[in-house]
């Protein structure tokens, strides 16, 4: 069975996403247990320049595919390029970030390359010649450990912020340009434009700090106080399903089972009681702070720090206090 690991370096807006260092660290878990080498591949406009940024992370080779028709992401184009490389060079393990792109590209490429796939993993280990992955199911209400059976390339998407990033060190890695073999006819669904979300804040799935509001926010305009706090950290504003259903917040902000699963360093839940489907989406946050009027709210069972009281009184004071600490 093929031992080598291929790490997919996602480019968005011409920049390689930081999850790549976590993927390389995950790759080392495999090669430490199983031997083999780790290669990376960057596809898209600016690939060569961005490849320089991952040159000293212990990789064997960095392949760059920078062609006109692959300048921007398309499922079919990127899956074609990636599957072609996997088939030709015979990788045993392919690692991608569990981002919007990775979750779209991974399954399609795995199907194309006749592989097996584990989505959204949070932990990997190599044991008795097998890669074992842990992944949450039921939006994090439970998790499972899963392994491949048979000799197939194993595709893994890894949820950001779960594996410590690879450290810089080692010799400079060779960067090689690679033809994709992808033709225009292969790409039938094409992104015509990307409209950035208003507000300029990071997406909840990528933010290090999330300030979330629930039904107790009472009105969309009141989210301003959460935005003020979030902006101190360059963080995101999130919302519970109740707040989204009441139209206080837009759907992309929703955290929970029918929204996004998040994993920030700090999650502050303001006026969120903690319905099971909300807790499922945020419980792995490193530090959880709950602000709620009801001392019996279930959110306090999952929080690390709690304050009982009126969020409209507490949040602005907290913003001022944190501002002082940051200055």
Partner 1 sequence: MKIIVLLKRVPDTEAKILINQEGTGIRKDGVKFVINTYDEYGIEEGLKLKEKLGGDSKVTVFCLGPEESTEVIRTALAMGADDAVHICDPALESPAPFTTSAVLAKAIKDEGFDIIFCGKQGIDDDTAQVQGGIAEALGIPQVNIASSFELSEDGSRALIGRRIEGGNEKIESALPVIVTCDKGINEPRYASLPGIMKAKKKEIRTRTLADLGFDEMPAAGRSKILKWLPLPKGGECRMVEAEEVSDAVKELARLLREEAKII
Is residue 98 within 8 A of residue 121, CB to CB? The reply is yes
**Minimal CA–CA distance to 259: which of 251, 267, 247?**
251
75 lies in the site for partner 1, by CB under 8 A: yes
The nearer residue to partner 1, 132 or 246, going by C-beta atoms, is 132
Interaction with partner 1 in 237-266: which residues (CB under 8 A)?
A: 251-252, 254, 257-259, 265-266
Q: Which two tokens stand for residue 146?
A: 């899963």
The nearer residue to partner 1, 167 or 301, going by C-beta atoms, is 301
- What sign results for the dihedral spanned by CA atoms 127, 133, 138, 142? positive
30 lies in the site for partner 1, by CB under 8 A: no
**Minimal CA–CA distance to 50: which of 31, 59, 63?**
63
Query: Shortest gap between Cβ of 168 and partner 1 (angstroms)?
Result: 23
- What are phi and psi for residue 289, nearest 5 degrees? -115, 130
For 289-325, b/e burial (b = at least 16 CB within 10 A) is bbbbeeeebbbbebbeebeeeebeebbeebbeeeeee
Binding mask 164-203 for partner 1 (x = CB under 8 A): ------------------------xxxxxxxxxx----xx
270 lies in the site for partner 1, by CB under 8 A: no
The nearer residue to partner 1, 138 or 174, going by C-beta atoms, is 138
84 lies in the site for partner 1, by CB under 8 A: no
137 lies in the site for partner 1, by CB under 8 A: yes
276 lies in the site for partner 1, by CB under 8 A: yes
Please report how many Cα atoms fall inside a 13 Å half-sphere around the Cα of residue 275, on the Cβ side: 13
The nearer residue to partner 1, 191 or 221, going by C-beta atoms, is 191
The nearer residue to partner 1, 139 or 173, going by C-beta atoms, is 139
Q: In angstroms, rounded to a whole number, what is the distance separating the alpha carbons of residues 290 and 166?
A: 33
- In DSSP terms, 156 is beta-bridged to 95, 118
Interface region with partner 1, contact rule CB under 8 A, candidates 63-71, 132-140, 162-170, 218-226: 132-140
The nearer residue to partner 1, 192 or 221, going by C-beta atoms, is 192
Query: Shortest gap between Cβ of 271 and partner 1 (angstroms)?
Result: 15
Question: Could you say which of 36, 84, 140, 214 contacts partner 1 (CB under 8 A)?
Answer: 140
- What are phi and psi for residue 257, nearest 5 degrees? -65, -35
């Amino acid at each position: 069975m093929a031992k080598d690991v291929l790490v997919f370096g996602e480019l968005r807006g011409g920049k390689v996403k930081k999850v790549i260092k976590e993927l390389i660290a995950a790759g080392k878990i495999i090669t430490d247990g199983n031997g083999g080498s780790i290669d990376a591949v960057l596809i898209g406009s600016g690939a060569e320049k961005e490849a320089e940024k991952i040159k000293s992370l212990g990789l064997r080779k960095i392949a760059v595919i920078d062609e006109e028709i692959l300048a921007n992401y398309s499922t079919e184009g990127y899956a074609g390029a990636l599957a072609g490389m996997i088939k030709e060079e015979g990788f045993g393990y392919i690692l991608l970030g569990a981002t919007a792109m990775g979750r779209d590209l991974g399954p399609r490429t795995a199907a194309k390359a006749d592989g097996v796939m584990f989505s959204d993993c949070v932990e990997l280990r190599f044991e008795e010649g097998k890669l074992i992955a842990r992944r949450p199911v039921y939006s994090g209400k439970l998790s499972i450990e899963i392994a491949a059976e048979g000799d197939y390339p194993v595709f893994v998407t890894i949820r950001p912020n779960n594996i410590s990033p690879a450290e810089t060190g080692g010799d400079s890695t060779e960067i090689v340009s690679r033809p994709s073999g992808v033709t225009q006819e292969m790409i039938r669904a094409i992104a015509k434009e990307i409209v950035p979300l208003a507000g300029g804040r990071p997406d909840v799935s990528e933010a290090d700090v999330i300030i979330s509001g629930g039904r107790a926010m009472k009105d969309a305009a009141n989210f301003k106080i959460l935005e003020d706090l979030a902006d101190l950290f360059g963080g995101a504003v999130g919302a519970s399903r109740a707040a989204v259903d009441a139209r206080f917040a837009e759907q992309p902000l929703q955290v929970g089972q029918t929204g996004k699963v998040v994993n920030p360093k700090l999650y502050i839940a303001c006026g969120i009681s903690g319905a099971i489907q909300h807790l499922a989406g945020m419980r792995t946050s490193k530090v959880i702070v709950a602000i709620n009027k009801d001392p019996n709210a279930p959110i306090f069972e999952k929080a690390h720090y709690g304050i009982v009281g009126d969020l409209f009184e507490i949040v602005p004071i907290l913003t001022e206090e944190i501002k002082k600490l940051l200055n």
